[in-house]
Structure 1
Amino acid sequence: MKPLQLLGRHCNRLVNALPHPLLSVFLSTSCSILSRKKKLNGYEYVDQEKYADLVRTVTTSKTSSQTPERIFEEDSFLYGKVMRSKGPLQESEPKVPQNRIPLNNPNKVLLAVEKTDPNIPVKIGLPGKSQMTNGRLPSVTRILQQTMPMEQAFYLERWKQRMIMELGEEGFIEYTAAVFSQGKLFHAQLEDLLLSKEPYTPKPDDTEQLVGYMNSVDHVLPDIVGVRTLESAVLHSELQYLGFVDCVAKYRGKLCVIDWKTSEKQKPTLKNTFDNPLQVAAYIGAINHDSNYNFQVDCGLIVIAYKDGSPAHAHFLDSDTCLHYWDKWLLRLEEYKEKKEKQ
């Protein structure tokens, strides 16, 4: 039986049981009580059905340790995607390098073809400190790291912290060491293949990751012929920076600086490769201004190999694209030198 019906029945019994004189007192008292102004309760007007799920979640949830994925999901939900802030005044024209050294070297003297052996790829080691006139020179990798855009640096640090939360400090160090080791094995295997010109055959001691990377680039390798350089150091004689080139060869008839990259995440567009195009442009400029190389290059190729063996993405950079990224590289180089002067 409903509570209100029970209350009504009890009240009727009470009224019938009271003597007549007391009944008038009871009724007057009840009326005065009911006539008092009732205090409003704001919660009575809340749409309880609307917030039923929230109430159920709060009252039934249990405290548990947060996973890194959950933390970053909440961070993204609360604060949204990180957006690059724009100042009130935007530059009307794009910034251009102050010292616009050309990508190609019009003054480079090339040896006659008969004095060089095109069948033997050039392979030069990094120069020692005593061989440098200005002491230690910065590498392309170091310059790009020191001048990384703030947004890119933020995402890189965010990824690092997330990996540390998942793996711990020691686990993260082991992970990065393993990635570096697999990259070295991949480059060494590619060098052997390009020199021997034989297809890749997995060996019993090849790791699963190496087999995946090699299967990934299997469809790209037939388009690469005429290797001119393998794992060789380059030095820009005028701008004074060093680099280490993976390969220079013809890709579909175009002589290119080829940069091999490994990735666990798909990178189907050139934009997904971040600073890799600047790196390739820097290597092209260095080769063209290095007297150790009897040729000049104006194209590039970035090959992204995947651990799971899925087909690699080969991003070709034509001469115009390389010139575009060469200007960007010169700006980063100027930024690096300005920072060094202020230190």
Structure 2
Amino acid sequence: MTRIANIDKSSVDRKSSPYSSVDSERYSSLVKSVMSSRVSSQTPETLQAEDDHIYGPVVKAQTPTRPEVREPKTLHPFLNCEETVDTEEPESGLPARISLNRGQGRSFVPSVTRILQQTLSPEQIFYLERWKRRMIAELGEEGFKEHSQNLFRQGKLLHSALEDILTSGAAWKDRDPSETPEYPPEVRGYLESISHVLEDVSAVRAIESTVQHGTLNYLGIVDCVARYRGVLCVIDWKTSDKPKPFLSNTYDNPVQVAAYAGALNNDGNYKYQVENGLIVVAYKDGSPAHAHQLSSEVMLEYWKTWLLRLEEFTEKRASHASSTLPENR
């Protein structure tokens, strides 16, 4: 009885199999036609041709290439060949401080800061706007406005304190702490932050002094021109809430310093040439400032970048001027 039951069960399974409804003769014929030797097998060449016909030719990816390095249309000299490069002896007398006077033909001369602001890359604009939105979300519109005003005020106070220190005639490392003037609380942390940098600053030649490039038609105000560890530099003092240990963290600051140096080198008010730069980033909490030195080679590269930004600014201004002219009637 058990055997009969098993046979009956397998018989039922075969009846319920999904293959039972397949036309075995037609299926056999299909298999034979595919496997028959009379059907020629395709070669790799014919397969490629068929694939190209159906899907189009294969487009091979090109080897990635470096982005093209742009060069200024006119490579204006960074140094003024008529002036001698700085000697080892510092100039005598007080540091130069040429005030910015928008009269005397300077009314329409753009500043370095304005040119850089109006030639920001789309990426720079994106991150700047994102930072602004985040700050407004945290502080509110009024809070962000007050925060920006405080940063501006602290920067002015720091520059004022540095002017007092660097024009006193005494080296920072030789100062008498008991005779050191009391500076505003807002800048004490910054001064502590840059104290180790000030120890290496000497032979100050200019403080908060205007420089102008007559040929390229722009101007700026240099924070300081002095020797840092014996090398004459255009020095730019910056404040930051976040650490900036690398030069790349300072964004357009190196371009700004190169622009100032190039203007100074071509300004008749200064009888020397400056080939090097220094960006000092001070921190309010007093942590040691980062001092980024720019060698003459690095300065030349940023000078080229500045010339490109200046060309872009000039083209934008010319385009805007032509679009606002009244139509001839």
Contact 1:233/1:244, CA 8 A, preserved across alignment: yes
Q: For residues 120 and 282 of structure 1, do their structure 2 counterparts lie closer, same or farther at Cα, with a shift above 3 Å needed? A: same
Residues 1:238 and 2:210 are matched in the alignment: no
Contact 1:224/1:249, CA 8 A, preserved across alignment: yes
Aligned partner (choices 147, 155, 171) of residue 119 of structure 2: 147
Aligned partner (choices 165, 168, 171) of residue 143 of structure 2: 171
In structure 1, give the amino acid aligned to 2:184. Answer: D
The aligned counterpart of 2:247 is 270
The aligned counterpart of 1:125 is 99
Contact 1:230/1:246, CA 8 A, preserved across alignment: yes
Contact 1:193/1:200, CA 8 A, preserved across alignment: no
The aligned counterpart of 1:158 is 130
State the Cα deviation string for residues 274-301 of structure 1 (Å, max 9, x = none): 0000000000000000001111100000
State the Cα deviation string for residues 29-77 of structure 1 (Å, max 9, x = none): xxxxxxxxxxxxxxxxxxxxxxxxxxxxxxxxxxxxxxxxxxxxxxxxx
Match of 2:237, SS? Answer: strand
Q: For residues 111 and 262 of structure 1, do their structure 2 counterparts lie closer, same or farther at Cα, with a shift above 3 Å needed? A: closer
Aligned partner (choices 170, 173, 184) of residue 206 of structure 1: 184
Match of 2:108, SS? Answer: coil
CA RMSD of aligned residues (A): 2.6
- Unpaired segments of 5 or more residues in structure 1? 1-87
Q: For residues 214 and 113 of structure 1, do their structure 2 counterparts lie closer, same or farther at Cα, with a shift above 3 Å needed? A: closer
In structure 2, give the amino acid aligned to 1:94. Answer: V
Q: Distance in 1 between the 2:117 and 2:255 partners?
A: 12
Q: For residues 154 and 295 of structure 1, do their structure 2 counterparts lie closer, same or farther at Cα, with a shift above 3 Å needed? A: same
Q: Distance in 1 between the 2:317 and 2:116 partners?
A: 14
Residues 1:97 and 2:72 are matched in the alignment: yes
- Normalization by structure 1: what TM-score? 0.69
Contact 1:257/1:283, CA 8 A, preserved across alignment: yes
Shift in Å, 1:127: 2.6
In structure 1, give the amino acid aligned to 2:95. Answer: P
- Normalization by structure 2: what TM-score? 0.72
In structure 2, give the amino acid aligned to 1:121. Answer: P
Aligned counterparts, 1:1-343, within 5 A: 93-108=68-83, 118-129=92-103, 131-132=104-105, 135-196=107-168, 197=170, 198=172, 199=175, 206-207=184-185, 209-343=186-320
Q: Distance in 1 between the 2:290 and 2:87 partners?
A: 36
Q: Distance in 2 between the 1:200 and 1:247 partners?
A: 23
The aligned counterpart of 1:13 is none
Shift in Å, 1:93: 3.6
Contact 2:276/2:296, CA 8 A, preserved across alignment: yes
In structure 2, give the amino acid aligned to 1:97. Answer: P
Contact 1:110/1:294, CA 8 A, preserved across alignment: no
Match of 1:216, SS? Answer: helix
Match of 2:155, SS? Answer: helix
Q: Distance in 1 between the 2:268 and 2:195 partners?
A: 33
Q: Distance in 2 between the 1:100 and 1:200 partners?
A: 48
Q: 166-175 or 329-338, which moves further after superposition? A: 166-175
State the Cα deviation string for residues 143-167 of structure 1 (Å, max 9, x = none): 0000011111111111111111111
Q: Distance in 2 between the 1:331 and 1:234 partners?
A: 20
Shift in Å, 1:92: 5.8
Shift in Å, 1:119: 2.7
In structure 1, give the amino acid aligned to 2:255. Answer: L
Contact 1:232/1:245, CA 8 A, preserved across alignment: yes
Match of 2:195, SS? Answer: coil
Shift in Å, 1:108: 3.8
Shift in Å, 1:312: 0.2
Q: Distance in 1 between the 2:298 and 2:250 partners?
A: 14
Q: Distance in 2 between the 1:226 and 1:150 partners?
A: 41
Q: Distance in 1 between the 2:73 and 2:148 partners?
A: 37
